[in-house]
A and B are shown apart, each in its own frame.
Chain A
Amino acid sequence: MKKCVIALLCFGAFIMGSFFEVKAEEYQNYQEIVFDDDEAKLLKDFSDQEYEDALKLIKKKRFIGWKIEVVNEEQVLEFVSETKLKIYNNGYSTIKHDITLETEEETKFQLSASGSIKVGGKGDVKQFSGSVDADIKASVSYSSVKTQNEKYEFEIIVDPLTYVKIITRGEGIINNGVGKYYFFWINTKDGGWETFTLTTEYYEIIKERIG
């Protein structure tokens, strides 16, 4: 019996450990992210203790459904993204090149989740799976707005033995927090959630010599 209890505890600890694995989204891979507010942080940067502390803030139980707690609300951040594209000219004469840039809806609005909260949605609509989506929508500014921008083409002459790269930086807004699911007032699962909205994106063009 004792062994069974220990095995169950071990299994429980394993499950809890795997809960705080945040599904990676593009914005989480930006080279550098700086919040205006020093206290703010991404969901993936929550320590286990911070996650547990946030869960403890959810005191009121529910008969059935999710209760959520907002930890970082409307936090403005700046980021340096990775290089959008590079055009090489390894030859000995100049080349004319057309650059087409488009910021897809994928980049403009992104979601992340951990634990028992999952990112789902049908087709192009991004949302959290299940009823927690409505709870989060009710708590933070959250829209699944799609932004398809104007067609953008840029023609550039690339010198011999140089490459041209375009890098992006920008600003966005983060909302994140945690949630607990109750079934007959018993907390059966929990997880973390995060929304990222890109507000402004800046482009910079740089030419460098190859090698």
Chain B
Amino acid sequence: MRRWFLAIIVAFIGGSAICIILETPSEDVVSLITLDKRYSRMITKAEETISIPVYISMQDTFLLDPALIDTVALVSEDVEMSVEISDIRDAEVREELEGTDYHLYYFDIGFPDEIKTDYTMNFLDAELSITYQNLETISLEIGSLSLRFSDLEENAHLSLNRMYVVTNQSEIIPSVQGIVISLEDRTLGSVTLIDLDIGCNEIHPDLEHAIPLETAIDYHGDLEELMGYEYQRIGTVEAGEELLVSNSELWFIPFRYTSEIVPIERFPLYVTYQIYGQVYHYDIDDFQFYQQSHCLEVYYGSLRECIYYYQ
């Protein structure tokens, strides 16, 4: 009888222990959440970095120690480039997503070897591949990047006077409807814009539908009201359009999206213009036009997860 009692107690304790182990969330799994974003940058200095937001479910992990990183690369289907992680910064932001607490960190990507080589690299659906000294590798889906490595040069013909974007506030995450820009023509009226590029393959400034402005407009005006007709934000942009800079002090140039409207808060402007048939270029460094504070849930469709399992 006593043995039976002992067996029952042992079975009960054993069963309870198993239940507790199974119920306790495993500490062996780390979830890393990234955003599918559009990055367009003009890298003008060796010390310039791109900050990639990474939400991580565990703080006490080697994955957040830059000293333990061996190699880092930006990888897309047809191109790969070695980069470095110059810093991993704790933003001291905690957010909950589907019952899990995430901590926001910024992975600062640097390009020490790529500066002053004057070329552009495009990464479509890029992954940030990080290999640690223990030979473990994680791949973070970070979206699409366009990087132009170039020095910023003075321009004798054009100078930037004013610039801001007009966004669509009716969307949960506002997107850029167009840019308001004023360029000073220093050549007595002979500069003609033939192309404006923001370095993102999915978004194109539409010179054909640019409109001169008499005064500055609201930064989130109604596009239809502004254009005077229903402007198609998705579609293609006609090449070969020209815009005589001196025709107006201030221009509104709408943006057309290739297939879907995607948010982009920061981008450079690569201006191509001509003077009496001679083609020139004028670059404006990437400018932070706006920034938003949203909780993770708002970006639900753009979230990408990487899970690391401890061995």
Contacts and interface: CB of A to CB of B under 8 A. Distances in A.
B132 interface: no
A47 interface: no
Give the secondary structure class of A's interface. strand
B308 interface: no
Contact of B51 (A94, A150, A156): A150
Nearest to A148: B91
Interface string B56-100: 000000000000000000000000000000000101111100000
A154 B289 CA distance: 11
Kindly name the residue among A151, A152, A203, A206 whose own CB sees the greatest number of chain B CB atoms within 10 A: A203
A108 B93 CA distance: 13
A152 B51 CA distance: 9
Interface string B280-301: 0000011111111110000000
Contacts, number: 87
B108 interface: yes
B92 A202 contact: no
A86 interface: no
Nearest to A157: B154
Contact of B108 (A151, A159, A207): A151
A155 interface: yes
B221 to A, nearest CB: 12
A103 B165 CA distance: 19
List 8 tightest A-B contacts by C-beta distance, closest first.
A150-B51, A204-B164, A148-B91, A202-B290, A155-B285, A200-B292, A206-B162, A146-B92
24 contacts: A94-B154, A145-B93, A147-B93, A148-B91, A148-B92, A148-B93, A150-B51, A150-B53, A151-B51, A152-B288, A153-B48, A155-B44, A157-B155, A169-B219, A200-B174, A200-B292, A202-B167, A202-B219, A203-B164, A204-B219, A205-B160, A205-B162, A206-B162, A207-B162
Interface of B: 44-45, 48-51, 53, 89, 91-95, 106, 108, 152, 154-155, 159-165, 167, 174, 219, 266, 285-294
